[in-house]
């Protein structure tokens, strides 16, 4: 099938590449000319395991190409995906100006029937607005359908998630586009939920908010564990073995971040408000998340007292493992708080150092993770990269001015670290 993607970011590029991989003809469109140029020259603007190889393979097979022209993308495809940003406005609601702009561009370029699919995360009722906008701006009055097809991939596992999805949600305003959407996704052999467009849009915000709620729940429990002498990991294992609950998203930490959870949570609270419901439960999820970072930062201050001129090593800058994405990263937030108090930072991340540089101008980037702690008064673990578990801790202890370790991701065993001579502080243990 012939597909275009308007917006070639984390979602658009992965979606386009994976559709090409299963045999569809794909054009990825982006207004960022430098990004399109980079992709055309064989470069990849983001880090996602397995993505580069798939792009190369499908470009070589002639199934994947890149352009800055929405008109070209629309003309050469039967199904047009919208995967542009839906960032938060200062009051937490969603900025839908990218969506609206693309809807107008698509309307202007349509000369025959198209299925327009919204893949961006949007408030319930956006699909209806997109349809209204296309109808208004399409001069030739051609037929079209608008579909909501929210994306559930996780950054860091995006290719794997897209190729092997748990479910595919297709929200429609009429039955006309259903057969084509089923055919498009047939190669993925995943359960397909066909529903009305408003339900599809709601499913995405409801899923992300529920996952954020699960994280805040275990983080709140981590406070009880600290004050009672229990161990939050043992508690998480105990409750997570109940299949009604599940173990995933029950890792206590310095809080969640990233480009999706904080933004989608604020958006969902605002959407509820506009629909006349005060979603106080989700406001509490936000509060617990901020409090968790405050608590972690306080532990550092209470231990080190004055931070001015203290040398602190930080392992991890990305918002989670396996990605170079630093948008709304708790690790960056923590670094900025430490810098504000005058600490001098030595930082390392396996993939995110380049992207973090703009947000953390005055830090020393250390290419070798084992050298980060050299000469430091304390070491902080801020991202759960699995390789950090293999840190040469003996060397770190020898090279540090003071062997103090703040583990914001519970990667190490408290007893082992204390036996090695560290002052070791983690979360909920
Ligand atoms: P992104 O910022 O990585 O990519 C968006 C791209 O759209 C950028 O490359 C930008 O240049 C381009 N763009 C903006 N306006 C455009 C226009 N008018 N024409 C063409 N291109 C345009 O964003 P993302 O992380 O891919 O997120 C996109 C949407 O998907 C958001 O709604 C997000 O909430 C949702 N989503 C993201 C994830 C994720 O893990 N990142 C997962 C599921 C859903």
* 49-106 tens-digit pLDDT: 999 999 999 999 999 999 999 999 999 999 999 999 999 999 999 999 999 999 999 9
Average pLDDT of the residues in 162-174: 98
- Tell me which residue has its CA closest to atom 9 in ligand 1: 9
The token duo for 245 is 């609950």
Listed by start position, the domains of the chain span 2-190, 231-429
Q: How far is the CA of 407 from the centre of ligand 1 (A)?
A: 32
**Residue ranges around ligand 1 (CB below 6 Å):** 6-12, 29-32, 35, 70, 83-86, 98, 101-102, 120-121, 151, 153, 155, 259-260
* d(C-alpha 268, C-alpha 209), whole Å: 8
* d(C-alpha 75, C-alpha 353), whole Å: 39
- The pLDDT of residue 331: 98
- The answer for residues whose C-beta is within 8 angstroms of residue 65's C-beta and 6 or more apart is 26, 27, 28, 59
Q: Is 231-429 in the same CATH topology as 2-190?
A: yes
**Position 139 pLDDT exceeds 90:** no
pLDDT band (50, 70, 90) for residue 374: very high
pLDDT band (50, 70, 90) for residue 284: very high
Name which of 120, 119, 123, 117 is nearest 94 in CA terms.
123
- The pLDDT of residue 299: 98
Atom of ligand 1 nearest to the CA of 155: 40
Core vs surface per residue 312-343: b (16+ CB within 10 A) or e: bbbbbbbbbbbbbbbbbbbbbbbbebbbeeeb
Are 111 and 91 contacting, i.e. CB atoms less than 8 angstroms apart? no
Q: Of all residues in the chain, what percent carry a pLDDT higher than 70?
A: 100
Confirm whether 18 is a catalytic residue.
no
CATH of domain 2-190: 3.40.50.720
Average pLDDT of the residues in 31-43: 97
- How many Cα neighbours within 13 Å face the side chain of 282? 25
Residue to mutate (ligand 1; options 5, 85, 101, 106; most atoms within 8 A of CB): 85
- The answer for residues whose C-beta is within 8 angstroms of residue 358's C-beta and 6 or more apart is none
The token duo for 427 is 């979360």
Strand partners of residue 115: 79, 145
Average pLDDT of the residues in 150-163: 96
Average pLDDT of the residues in 299-305: 98
Angle, CA of 89, 30 and 47, to the nearest 5°: 85
pLDDT band (50, 70, 90) for residue 378: very high
pLDDT tens-place string over residues 193-232: 999 999 999 999 999 999 999 999 999 999 999 999 999 9
Average pLDDT of the residues in 7-12: 97
Average pLDDT, the chain: 97
CATH of domain 231-429: 3.40.50.720
Count other C-beta atoms under 10 Å from residue 141's C-beta. Answer: 7
Please provide residue 427's backbone torsions phi and psi, each rounded to the nearest 5 degrees. -115, 120
Q: How far is the CA of 120 from the centre of ligand 1 (A)?
A: 7
Residue to mutate (ligand 1; options 7, 31, 148; most atoms within 8 A of CB): 7
pLDDT band (50, 70, 90) for residue 141: confident
In the three-class reduction of DSSP (H, G, I as helix; E, B as strand; rest coil), residue 167 is classed as coil
Average pLDDT of the residues in 129-148: 95
Chain centroid, CA 3 distance in Å:
24
- Tell me which residue has its CA closest to atom 34 in ligand 1: 121
The pTM score is 0.95
The token duo for 174 is 């009429």
């Amino acid at each position: 099938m012939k597909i275009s993607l308007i917006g070639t970011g984390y979602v658009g590029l992965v979606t386009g590449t994976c559709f090409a991989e299963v045999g569809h003809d794909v054009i990825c469109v982006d207004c960022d000319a430098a990004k399109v140029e980079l992709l055309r020259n064989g470069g990849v603007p983001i880090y996602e395991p397995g993505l580069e190889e798939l792009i190369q393979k499908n470009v070589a097979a002639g199934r994947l190409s890149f352009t800055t022209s929405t008109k070209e993308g629309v003309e050469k495809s039967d199904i047009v995906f919208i995967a542009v940003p839906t960032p938060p406005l200062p009051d937490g609601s969603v900025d839908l100006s990218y969506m609206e702009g693309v809807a107008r561009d698509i309307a202007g370029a349509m000369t025959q029937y198209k299925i327009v699919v919204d893949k961006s995360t949007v408030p319930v009722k956006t699909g209806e607005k997109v349809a209204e906008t296309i109808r208004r701006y399409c001069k030739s009055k051609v037929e079209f359908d608008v579909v909501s097809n929210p994306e559930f991939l996780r950054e860091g596992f995006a290719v794997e998630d897209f190729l092997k999805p748990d479910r595919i949600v297709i929200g429609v305003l009429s039955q006309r586009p259903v057969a084509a959407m089923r055919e498009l996704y047939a190669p993925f052999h995943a359960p397909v939920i066909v529903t009305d467009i408003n339900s599809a849009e709601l499913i995405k915000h409801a899923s992300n908010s529920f996952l954020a709620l699960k994280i805040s729940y275990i983080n709140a429990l981590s406070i009880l564990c600290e004050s009672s002498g229990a161990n939050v990991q043992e508690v998480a294992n105990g409750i997570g073995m109940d299949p009604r609950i599940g173990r995933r998203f029950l890792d206590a930490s310095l809080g969640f971040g990233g480009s999706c959870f904080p933004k989608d949570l604020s958006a969902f609270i605002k959407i509820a408000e506009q629909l006349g419901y005060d979603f106080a439960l989700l406001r509490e999820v936000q509060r617990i998340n901020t409090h968790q970072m405050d608590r972690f930062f306080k532990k550092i201050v209470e231990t080190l007292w004055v931070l001015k001129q203290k040398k602190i090593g930080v392992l991890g800058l990305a918002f989670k493992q396996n990605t170079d994405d630093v948008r709304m990263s708790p690790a960056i937030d923590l670094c900025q708080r430490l810098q504000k108090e005058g600490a001098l930072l030595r930082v390392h991340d396996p993939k995110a150092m380049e992207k973090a540089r703009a947000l953390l101008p005055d830090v020393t980037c250390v290419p070798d993770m084992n050298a980060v702690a050299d000469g430091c008064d304390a070491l902080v673990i801020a991202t759960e990269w699995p390789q950090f578990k293999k840190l040469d801790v003996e060397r770190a202890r020898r090279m540090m001015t003071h062997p103090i370790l703040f583990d914001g991701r519970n990667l190490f065993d408290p007893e082992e670290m204390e036996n090695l001579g560290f002052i070791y502080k983690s979360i909920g243990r």
